[in-house]
């Protein structure tokens, strides 16, 4: 088995971004208008405004993806995390989430947030174990399905004394 590696966005992986997200959305919910817009043109909606999309690759197979979207006012949205069904429970989500948080920490952002759904227990446990905390939503969501809002802030630097 080859190691899974995490890479940033490439235009030739845009179809994989769509495939992976459509797979889980159609399994659990439905594709909402906001999903369709982002999946139709991830470069326009995520990359060009200052975000990033990560891909988990094993050999030449794209197994998972996760995006960090600029949301204005130094806020970033962790969004569109998906791992193909046959590769779940192998730590790929953790690798993607760690890459996204590391990328965000290198930015001058003030808040990294995500929206999810209470029925996605494994995903929520992953987010919680990575330092995301449930918080009151400070805005009206673009997603009908979103009933969970969480925030993660850059860990405070340790004293070197």
Q: pLDDT per residue over 45-58, tens digit each?
A: 999 999 999 999 99
Give dist(CA 117, CA 124) in Å, integer: 8
Is pLDDT of 83 > 90?
A: yes
What pTM was estimated for this model as a whole? 0.91
pLDDT, residue 157, reads 59
> How many other C-beta atoms can be found within 10 angstroms of the C-beta atom of residue 22?
15
pLDDT score of 161: 47
| Range 60-89 average pLDDT | 92
pLDDT mean over 119-136: 94
HSE on the CB side for 49, CA within 13 Å?
17
Residues 6, 11: Cα–Cα separation, whole Å: 15
Q: Please give the sequence-ordered ranges of beta strands (E in DSSP) within 29-122, or none if there are none.
A: 52-58, 61-70, 75-83, 111-116
pLDDT at 135: 95
The answer to whether 62 and 53 are in contact (CB under 8 A) is no
What CA–CA distances, in Å, run from 74 to 2, 77, 95, 143, 149?
A: 37, 10, 24, 21, 17
Which bin fits 22, alpha (ψ -120 to 50), beta or left (φ > 0)? Answer: alpha
Instruction: State what percent of residues in the chain have pLDDT above 90.
Output: 83
With bands split at pLDDT 50, 70 and 90, how would you rate the model's confidence at 108? confident
Which residue(s) pair with 113 in the sheet? 77, 151
- Average pLDDT of span 128-155: 91
Mean pLDDT of the chain: 92
Contact between 63 and 4 (Cβ < 8 Å) = yes
4-111, CATH topology level = Aminopeptidase (3.40.630)
Q: Residue 1, SS3?
A: coil
**91 pLDDT band (50/70/90 cuts)?**
confident
Assign 79 a pLDDT band (cuts: 50, 70, 90).
very high
């Amino acid at each position: 088995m080859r190691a899974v590696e995490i890479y940033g966005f490439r235009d030739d992986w845009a179809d994989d971004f769509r495939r992976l997200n459509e797979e889980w959305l159609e399994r659990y919910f439905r594709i909402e208008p906001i999903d369709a817009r982002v999946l139709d043109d991830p470069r326009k909606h995520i990359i060009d405004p200052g975000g990033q999309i990560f891909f988990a690759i094993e050999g030449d197979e794209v197994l998972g993806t996760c995006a960090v979207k600029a949301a204005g006012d130094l806020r970033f949205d962790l969004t569109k995390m998906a791992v193909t069904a046959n590769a779940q429970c192998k730590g790929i989500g953790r690798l993607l989430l760690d890459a996204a948080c590391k990328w965000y920490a290198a930015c001058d952002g003030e808040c990294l947030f995500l929206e999810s759904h209470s029925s996605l227990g494994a995903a929520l446990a992953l987010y919680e174990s990575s330092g995301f905390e449930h918080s009151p939503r400070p805005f009206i969501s673009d997603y009908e399905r979103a009933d969970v809002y969480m925030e993660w802030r850059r860990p405070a630097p340790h004293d070197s004394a």
